[in-house]
């Protein structure tokens, strides 16, 4: 019998499948596919009913009005339920919409939420521009400091919002332990787990109450679709979010759902490759002379390696690289002439990317950006390792690092 965290969906006789099998087969209800392998895209606002009896019988059924989605939306939601170990899953138009949906609906005026100081910047903007003006007290915390967070999980606190690893700087936190402490104190734990896409760490199976991920990244996997996912198990949080979802109509298009489900079918092969290549590239990068530090929890030298090793089965393709020195011109000479690494927002697709991070806009009050002893100035770039050959990627980066070195002399 498979353990809960290794069991995906129901599978044969209710025992469940292992992850790879589930990625390929989960959510495939033959009734929805018209005998094709893939579910069709059905674009609809109006769904027609044959007669009054059918109209009345549709109350509470899935295929009733296009706002609740059609076949591809249902298939993706079914797939995600088994994948995340969830009882309910909502799809939103983007990862940000998922974060907004959760934060807006779980926070209350006059009460407090704790938010990891190293969350994705737009998440902080939701806190500052939407929640705080509505009377929600927002306190930023360093989730690496379990004792400090634990001491704060009382009084008016309703929610702990985590992102692991931290945005841009990839600090690890023990979300499993923090979720346990939240439960003991009646606080709802929320985790943005976009980095590992639920593949190497399943938040709901680890006791986290609400798991959020941007499916625009790994689940979609091809840089051509935007979507957010909110997953929960049965309970009060599910009931309250379900009510809001029903009346506020959080939804996505059937086309977006179809694209994400197609990406999901190859997720296991892609994640394993991202993991393998990223670890090789991170070890190689940390030996390069112009690199001050590589921020990647899967590296033994990383401060978060212990937590990562104990909780995660692998890592994704995204990491931070701190270059020695700082120069706008040098940075341009590095990133403007890459052959394989494209420059642009988002990540999690099949291709490698590089993106300078603006350290001058340090928006962290509690944690700060990482510093490297002996280096007065550093430049942070975010690197996504795609599915290309690592030797080709090393060559591209080596040449970029050489241009960076020249600009420093």
Ligand X SMILES: Cc1ncc(COP(=O)(O)O)c(C=O)c1O
Interaction site with ligand X (CB under 6 A): 94-96, 120, 163, 167, 192, 194, 214, 216, 226, 228, 346
Nearer to ligand X, 33 or 105 (CB): 105
Shortest separation between residue 403's beta carbon and ligand X, angstroms: 27
Say which residues have a Cβ less than 8 Å from residue 117's Cβ, sequence separation at least 6: 140, 141, 142, 364, 365, 366, 367
CA distance 51 to 49: 6
Shortest separation between residue 391's beta carbon and ligand X, angstroms: 28
CA distance 405 to 290: 7
Nearer to ligand X, 176 or 194 (CB): 194
Nearer to ligand X, 73 or 214 (CB): 214
Shortest separation between residue 110's beta carbon and ligand X, angstroms: 28
Shortest separation between residue 318's beta carbon and ligand X, angstroms: 8
CA angle at residue 330 from 327 to 333, to 5 degrees?
A: 155
Residue whose Cβ sits closest to ligand X: 95
- Full DSSP string of 372-401: -TT-S-EEEEEEE--SS-HHHHHHHHHHHH
> Would you give the DSSP letter of residue 8?
B
User: What share of residues in the chain are helix, strand, coil (percent, to 5)?
Assistant: 40, 15, 45
Shortest separation between residue 49's beta carbon and ligand X, angstroms: 35
Sign of CA dihedral 196, 202, 276, 171: positive
Query: 3-class secondary structure for 293-348?
Result: EEECCCCCCCCCHHHHHHHCCCCCCEEEEEEECCCHHHHHHHHCCCCCCECCCCCC
Nearer to ligand X, 266 or 346 (CB): 346
Shortest separation between residue 95's beta carbon and ligand X, angstroms: 2
Nearer to ligand X, 78 or 163 (CB): 163
Nearer to ligand X, 71 or 94 (CB): 94
């Amino acid at each position: 019998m498979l353990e809960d965290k290794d069991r995906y969906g129901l599978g044969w006789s209710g025992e469940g499948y292992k992850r790879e099998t589930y990625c390929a087969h989960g959510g495939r209800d033959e009734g929805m596919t018209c005998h094709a392998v893939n579910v069709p895209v059905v674009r609809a606002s109006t769904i027609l009913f044959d007669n009054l009896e059918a109209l009345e019988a549709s109350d509470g059924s899935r295929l009733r009005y296009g706002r609740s989605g059609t076949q591809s939306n249902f298939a993706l939601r079914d797939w995600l339920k088994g994948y995340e170990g969830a009882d309910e899953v909502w799809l939103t138009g983007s990862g940000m919409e998922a974060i907004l949906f959760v934060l807006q609906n779980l926070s209350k005026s006059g009460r407090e939420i704790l938010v990891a100081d190293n969350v994705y910047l737009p998440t902080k903007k939701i806190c500052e521009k939407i929640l705080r003006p509505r009377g929600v007290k927002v306190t930023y915390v360093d989730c690496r400091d379990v004792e400090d967070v634990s001491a704060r999980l009382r009084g008016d606190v309703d929610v702990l919002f985590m992102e692991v690893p931290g945005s841009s700087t990839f600090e690890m936190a023990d979300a499993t332990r923090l979720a346990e402490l939240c439960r003991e104190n009646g606080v709802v734990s929320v985790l943005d787990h976009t980095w590992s896409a639920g593949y190497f760490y399943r938040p709901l199976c680890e006791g986290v109450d609400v798991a959020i991920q941007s499916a625009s990244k790994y689940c979609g996997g091809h840089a051509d679709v935007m979507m957010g996912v909110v997953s929960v198990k049965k309970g009060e949080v599910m009931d309250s979010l379900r009510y809001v979802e029903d009346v506020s109509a959080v939804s996505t298009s059937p086309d977006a759902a179809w694209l994400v489900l197609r990406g999901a079918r190859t997720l296991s092969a892609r994640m394993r490759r991202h993991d393998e290549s990223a670890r090789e590239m991170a070890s190689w990068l940390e030996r390069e002379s112009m690199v001050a530090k590589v921020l990647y929890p899967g590296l033994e030298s990383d401060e978060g390696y212990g937590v990562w090793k104990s909780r995660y089965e692998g890592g994704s393709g995204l990491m931070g690289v701190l270059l020695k020195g700082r120069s706008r011109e040098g940075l341009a000479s590095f990133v403007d002439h890459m052959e394989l690494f494209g420059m642009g927002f988002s990540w999690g697709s099949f291709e490698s990317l590089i993106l300078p991070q603006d350290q001058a806009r340090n928006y962290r009050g509690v944690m700060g950006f990482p510093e490297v002893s002996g280096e007065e100035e550093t430049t942070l770039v975010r690197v996504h390792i795609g599915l290309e050959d690592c030797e080709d990627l090393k060559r591209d980066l080596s040449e970029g690092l050489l241009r960076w070195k020249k600009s420093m002399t």
